[in-house]
Amino acid sequence: MSETRARRAGPRPTDAAIVGMGALFPGAEDLAAYWRNLVAGTDCITDVPPGRWDPEIYYDPQGAQGPARSDRFYCRRGGFLDDPAAFDPTRFGIMPAAVRGAEPDQLLALRTIADAIADAGGEERLPADRSRIGVILGRGGFMGVATARLDQRVRTAHQLAATLRELAPELGESRITAVREAFQAGLGPEQPEASIGLVPSFTAARTANRLDFRGPAYTLDAACASSLLAVAQAVDLLAAGRCDLMVAGAVHHCHIATLWSVFTQLRALSPTQHIRPFDRRADGTLLSEGTGVVLLKRLADAERDGDRVYAVVRGTGVAGDGRAAGLMSPRAEGQTDALEQAWAAAGLDPADPTALGLLEAHGTGTPVGDGVELDTLARVFGPPGAGVPPVGLGSVKSMLGHTMQAAGIAGLIKAALAVHHRTLPPTLHLDEPHEGLARTRMRPVTEAEPWDAGRAPLRAGVNAFGFGGINAHTVLEEAPGRRSPAAPPPQRAPSHRTAPLRTAEPERTVLLAADTPAQLADQLREMEDPGAATDTGAPVPAPAAAPDGPC
């Protein structure tokens, strides 16, 4: 495709516009905090809190040297939410007694979707016909904390009693029964009224029930590609005219010892306890948790309604690897198919010099995964060359760890905010670039910088590749009419600083300088209304959820 065609091609009226977003990730309880962390390069990886699993019991720093054991973990670092993340059940008409017995993903997904609605301008901006609103959420089939507690009550307690009868029969049946009952009592009271909080499909169903969404509402599991698969299906429903607004994203809140055991035995975790996407020293990933969602409308409807549009979904692609060396062995062929589908759907040539400015990679920090992904990027976007501009490369996992089913949406929200704010956020710990980068047009972004594509629209691509061989890619473009000079360079923060799990806007001293009193007055007005610099003429969302504040 020629450069001229790439510049002329624009979004279609039926393309999906991102009109609202909600984010709950390590170090960020809302969308504004997430963006602040992204721009500042905040490292949100920490040691595991004892409430998730006890390092005194499970952690073995020498465990990576010998045979894998299911009950010993050689890695103790990852991305964790504040415990517990704030959730007000009465806000949604949920009885407080039902909260403890439910999986947290159901409740935090509901909260994050409500945040996204507020970000889009509030309930009054939703379609009046609730049958035209749907929700698709990625959610893994892992055993969660509440389900594990029930399993202990139902099975483990009786297994304990059976073992005591076999090994210590002298205790007698009454003592063995007392041990079993004490074990069950330690798990807390029985809560049959909360059992619906254990059904995986209710992650989407509870949202539809509480918010009165009467369109399609379901969960899906495509491993690490889940959230981009949810976005792809939501985009299709909008384009087909079956819905007028879709919520799409994913949730992952599972840090129980069982899940860590699985990834320890797979040897997928970093033995040095650092996640370094696309770095020569990369030796594994780190587990994380989080929830992210986007609100999608057809672009024509968003423009008609005067919505603020973060970015437009130009194309999506989904493809499988087929037969590979193993279920854990990624193939560049499957990844390439997904990317080429998305760019074909967008009507764009990915190898065109003006086609892409940011590639938010899957970037897990595993040597094999990073190497295959770089091969894919070289195939799809072409090799470096004289006069061919490089593409900014990033991976949010360097800050958060791997959020599993929510990995794609963490990257998609990052990319949409980057387009909206015309800023390329940094990727951390990429000090010794992977040798495969030399075969690509990719340029790692290690410090936040303004993003200016000249006359071409800003575009970002987002990868999410699920183990087992499912691959997804999404192409984002800035909203029509939003093209303007790049944002000023963001204030540089100390590199790789670690934030507390709860973030707050700090007090600041600001030095202003101007040549005339009028220029100084303009600067003061911009400080009083920080959203004015990126105002699109759309309704201003609720202040608590708006990401346009000072970063």
**DSSP states of 394-463 as a string?**
E-THHHH-B-GGGHHHHHHHHHHHHHHHTEE---SS--SB-GGGGGSSEEE--S-EE---TTSPPEEEEE
Let me know: does 289 contact 109? Beta carbons within 8 Å: no
Let me know: does 317 contact 337? Beta carbons within 8 Å: yes
List the catalytic residue out of 253, 255, 274, 402.
402
CA atoms of 13 and 138, how far apart (whole Å): 27
CA atoms of 74 and 172, how far apart (whole Å): 40
Residue 224 among the catalytic residues: yes
The residue written with tokens 């989904």 in the block is 318
CA atoms of 404 and 410, how far apart (whole Å): 10
List the catalytic residue out of 44, 75, 224, 243.
224
User: Rounded to an integer, what is the distance from CA 307 to the centroid of its chain?
Assistant: 23
HSE on the CB side for 132, CA within 13 Å?
Answer: 14
CA atoms of 450 and 239, how far apart (whole Å): 33
**Token pair listed for 416:** 């949409």
Let me know: does 334 contact 386? Beta carbons within 8 Å: no
Element (H, E) at 464: strand 459-466
Let me know: does 76 contact 59? Beta carbons within 8 Å: yes
CA atoms of 286 and 349, how far apart (whole Å): 34
Other Cβ atoms closer than 10 A to 176 = 18
CA atoms of 219 and 206, how far apart (whole Å): 11
Let me know: does 442 contact 394? Beta carbons within 8 Å: no
List the catalytic residue out of 274, 362, 420, 421.
362
Residue 473 among the catalytic residues: no
CA atoms of 463 and 471, how far apart (whole Å): 8
Residue 551 among the catalytic residues: no
The DSSP letter of residue 119 is: H
**Token pair listed for 508:** 């600041």
CA atoms of 224 and 285, how far apart (whole Å): 13
The residue written with tokens 């629209």 in the block is 457
The DSSP letter of residue 91 is: G
Catalytic machinery residues: 224, 362, 402
